[in-house]
Amino acid sequence: MLTSFTAHLLQAALLLAPQVTAAGSSAPSVTRPGRPPDTLWQQRVSYSTEARLDEDAQVLHAVEVVRYHNASPDTLKVLFFHLYLNAFRPHSIWARTEQRKPFDFGALRDPDYGYERVRSAELVPWGRGGSGTGADASGSGARDRSLTAAYPFAPDSTVVRFDLPRPLAPGDSTRVRIAWDARPATLCRRQCRQGRHWDFAQWYPRVAVFDTAGWEDHPLHPQGEFYGEFGTYDVTLDLASDQVLGATGVPVEGDPGWKPDASSPDRTVDYQRDWYGRPVRLDDPGLLDGPASTGRKRVRFRAERVHHFAWSVDPAYRYEQGHLGKVAVRVLYRPGDLDWDLGAAVRRTIRALRWLGGIYGPYPWPQLTNLHRLEGGGTEFPMVIMNGGPGQGLITHESSHQYNMGILANNEWKEGWLDEGMASFLTNWFEREHGVAHPWARTMRAARAREAAGATQVVSEPSEDFVDYATYGAMIYTKGSVVLRMLRWLVGEDTFREGMHVYYRDYRFHHVDGADLQAAMEKASGRELAWFFHEWLRTTWTLDYALGDVHTVPDGTSGWKTSVQVTRRGRAWMPVDLAVGDSTLRLDSRDESQTVTVVTTGRPDSVVLDPRGVLLETSIENNRTALPAHDP
């Protein structure tokens, strides 16, 4: 995601380098270098959901049946779910720790605060209609099936725990029916409602991830984002019939209200209703029995191999559409911001998606919807980006998250750099290849200033452990992007591209961590890179190369011989390029002081360390020496 402040900068022009200070997250250590892809287990989930949006009462009533398959080697005695909308109300951890004035959720009163309130929860036995394994965790009687909600971080309620009456063994599945009410806050932060516009970024009880580290039952903090289990979402929404809807997945039934503008690149709506065949809904939540009432409509969406489902409605949404191959690109924008229209946002989204496909691999989902949300900035969800503006930088950043986060699903509060540093890095790379003169200039200045001031923390640490929001943004986004740029330079651009293909090929639709990216880059480069990942992501070591004495003399034939003294300060190490006149060589010595002799045909006019300005040094003032044209 990007905050509105940053996004505001981004919207100033079609293409601008993003100087990002925003939200993401991170983790202490990475301990599975090079795990083979076939040893990765992941829990499997599916959601069958029905929801009715009551705009008069300002509440969403909903029921979901979640199928949960325990693919882990562990026996589970509990299930954890996230109730993220409860962050946006008084007494949440978010409300108590938010440092930025405009987002004072602690001060909101009814009906302005958001909530997500569990009304009931029960296990659903595998009956005649069920297709489970037969073994499950449900008891025999109705009393055994009822689940009691417990809130381990109370008064925060962004995590709810249900104790299972019987443990769920490895290989077994269970079904849980949860009824709840939800309401976004009127104060916009990654979710919002105002008038008839509803941004349901978060809205349903979402199964917490169980992975090799155990339950990832982590309350929502302002610093840090999300992590989810891949699965299938089958969601039926009961809405006022004039609402226009954008969501994760494809509309398999019902009318989402898309009527293309006259200026839309595509004039015929591509609903993609058959993308998943004719999908049968697994379970009946039982909320929306009978037909929709007068003035209402039902729209059923389906999405597969995603770890989240986001949606937004506004009766005023304008619709434009384009295509990248079979992938539909949908833009839903609010009238009044005309920069979105005439196909501009559609084309920018396609441009970003096409380029990203070249970096990773083909976009695997049916569509990408670019929604014009109420809040500024942008936030990413599978198949959906919710953006406050139509700038190319913001679109590229958020679209990149379809890969780094959506398809390659890192734990965003443990290793935020892996999706946010990557998004910032890819956006600058995209801009360099689309005519922006110096996309890295501001990023490098900001990163060097922090290194010089010692105002750094370990990049790979839990997001809420950063001392403040600015440091969090500077480490996760800015330094994360600079580190990835150094890695690309270190292994070479072609090798780096190959590494990204390997990363995507081996780990897509899996939870990933920094060790997986390291393994992919090692596979592509044939080099051991543990030192690099350790040094730049798990320490705060600094680096500064400096030029010492430089002497140039005729070499006795027709050329010139230049001897250069190079010193290195700080605990970090990287190779460094040295340019003497027109020739450049890479210095690989780990000595703190080295003297290098370079022979050139012409008399060099300057000596420059790191001429491409790639290294994260505390100073670059000592990197250049101009040589006299004549002997003094």
Binding site for Zn ion (CB under 5 A): 1, 420, 423
| Distance of alpha carbon 621 from alpha carbon 400, whole angstroms | 34
Q: Report strand pairing: 197-200 vs 560-569.
A: unpaired
Shortest Cβ distance from residue 449 to Zn ion (Å)? 22
CA neighbor of 513 nearest in space, from 39, 73, 26: 26
What's the token pair of residue 82? 């996230």
Helix (H, G, I), strand (E, B) or coil at 405: coil
Choice between 190 and 281, CB closer to Zn ion: 190
What's the token pair of residue 250? 């494809």
- Determine the distance from the C-alpha atom of residue 45 to the mean position of all C-alpha atoms in its chain, rounded to a whole number: 21
| Distance of alpha carbon 184 from alpha carbon 91, whole angstroms | 16
Shortest Cβ distance from residue 477 to Zn ion (Å)? 7
End-to-end Cα spacing for the chain = 56
Choice between 310 and 313, CB closer to Zn ion: 310
- DSSP string for residues in 547-574: EEEEEEEE-SSSSEEEEEEEEEESS---
Shortest Cβ distance from residue 382 to Zn ion (Å)? 14
- Which helix (H) or strand (E) covers residue 149, if one does? strand 149-150
Choice between 368 and 490, CB closer to Zn ion: 368
Choice between 178 and 423, CB closer to Zn ion: 423
Choice between 8 and 534, CB closer to Zn ion: 8
The answer to whether 288 touches 65, Cβ cutoff 8 Å, is: no
Helix (H, G, I), strand (E, B) or coil at 607: strand
Q: In what order do the strands lie in the sheet with 544-554?
A: 544-554, 560-569, 593-600
Choice between 1 and 616, CB closer to Zn ion: 1
Choice between 299 and 385, CB closer to Zn ion: 385
Shortest Cβ distance from residue 97 to Zn ion (Å)? 20
| Distance of alpha carbon 573 from alpha carbon 548, whole angstroms | 18
DSSP label of 451: H
CA neighbor of 317 nearest in space, from 340, 284, 349: 340
Residue 2 φ/ψ, nearest 5 degrees = -135, 140
Shortest Cβ distance from residue 381 to Zn ion (Å)? 12
Largest CA distance in the chain: 98
Shortest Cβ distance from residue 423 to Zn ion (Å)? 4
- Radius of gyration (C-alpha) of the chain in whole angstroms: 27
Helix axes 392-400, 344-359, angle to 10 degrees: 40
Shortest Cβ distance from residue 71 to Zn ion (Å)? 29
Q: 346: how many CB neighbours lie within 10 A of its CB?
A: 25
Choice between 83 and 476, CB closer to Zn ion: 476
Shortest Cβ distance from residue 181 to Zn ion (Å)? 30
Choice between 374 and 423, CB closer to Zn ion: 423
Per the listing, tokens 């599978």 go with 382
Helix (H, G, I), strand (E, B) or coil at 594: strand
The answer to whether 566 touches 593, Cβ cutoff 8 Å, is: yes
Choice between 254 and 388, CB closer to Zn ion: 388
What's the token pair of residue 360? 């990773």
Choice between 159 and 537, CB closer to Zn ion: 537
What's the token pair of residue 79? 């299930």
- Which helix (H) or strand (E) covers residue 424, if one does? helix 420-432
Choice between 427 and 552, CB closer to Zn ion: 427
| Distance of alpha carbon 546 from alpha carbon 610, whole angstroms | 10
Shortest Cβ distance from residue 3 to Zn ion (Å)? 10
Shortest Cβ distance from residue 184 to Zn ion (Å)? 20
Shortest Cβ distance from residue 402 to Zn ion (Å)? 11
Shortest Cβ distance from residue 24 to Zn ion (Å)? 6
Shortest Cβ distance from residue 2 to Zn ion (Å)? 6
Distances (CA, A) of 143 to 124, 138, 148, 567: 12, 10, 11, 74
Residue 166 φ/ψ, nearest 5 degrees = -135, 140
Shortest Cβ distance from residue 280 to Zn ion (Å)? 36
Choice between 83 and 423, CB closer to Zn ion: 423
Shortest Cβ distance from residue 420 to Zn ion (Å)? 5
What's the token pair of residue 140? 């025999």
Choice between 476 and 566, CB closer to Zn ion: 476
- Burial environment of residue 110 by CB neighbours within 10 A (0 to 12, 13 to 18, 19 or more): exposed
Cis peptide before 111 (omega within 30 of 0): yes
Choice between 302 and 485, CB closer to Zn ion: 485
CA neighbor of 30 nearest in space, from 583, 419, 534: 534
What's the token pair of residue 516? 């997986």
